[in-house]
Amino acid sequence: MKIIWLGHASLRIEIGGQVLLIDPWLEGNPMLEEGQYDVATSGATHVLVTHGHGDHASSGAALCKKLGVPAVGIFDLMSHWEEKHGIDVIGFNKGGTVDLGGVKVTMVNATHSSSFSGSDGPVYAGHESGFMIEGEGHVIYVSGDTDIMADMGWMGDLHKPDIGILCAGGHFTMDMKRAAYAAKRYFDFKTVIPYHYRTFPLLAQSAEVLAEGLPGVEVIEPQVMEPIEI
């Protein structure tokens, strides 16, 4: 398995023979150079979207059309993309599980907001979400944009993820201290990877606080386009 950070909240996960792009934000992503776009997205089999905000979803539909792969995410947004952009979609909802060729993805709750810009202001884009991704004997919890939730208690107990990819930049999501609290209280991670940080000055620039709060857990600070092999 390879987990590759594409900057901000964008991920490339190679697992179980599939290549999942999660919230791939290309144009406008200050952490990913234009010359890296093709390498970052080559061979993708699916594009997963946690919610509709531009720094997560603005590249998704065009990328699906270019690569000829389906978009996977909340039913409301997927239905809109299917009608507007003519792409293949897999729309489901929280509590639902889809099998992407041997890799199972379950949509779980997050607490945030979800919209995209329209001519008359924000447009509803379905609810925000996270994903539990199961394959190769591992379960990865991709938190999406969220704060701490009591729901994390049953999510950790039921899905038992061993890898946590947690938003931790603060301001728009939980920060490093809150992410460490959530990981320690609700989960039993072996590996934690922070994301949604370092992109802009108002976000956390280091995961030192996260690592200090999780003794005994391998906290890996990702580097853009450098594979983390598990």
Give the Cβ contact number of residue 14 at 10 Å.
19
pTM score of the predicted model = 0.97
For 116-172, give the secondary structure using H, E and C: EEECCEEEECCCCEEEEEEECCEEEEECCCCCCCCHHHHHHHHHCCCEEEEECCCCC
Q: What is the pLDDT along the chain (230 residues), one digit of tens a residue?
A: 999 999 999 999 999 999 999 999 999 999 999 999 999 999 999 999 999 999 999 999 999 999 999 999 999 999 999 999 999 999 999 999 999 999 999 999 999 999 988 888 888 888 999 999 999 999 999 999 999 999 999 999 999 999 999 999 999 999 999 999 999 999 999 999 999 999 999 999 999 999 999 999 999 999 999 999 99
Q: Exposed, middle or buried, 75 (CB in 10 Å: 0-12/13-18/19+)? A: middle
Domains of the chain (ranges; CATH) run: 2-220 (3.60.15.10)
For residue 55, the 8-state DSSP code is: H
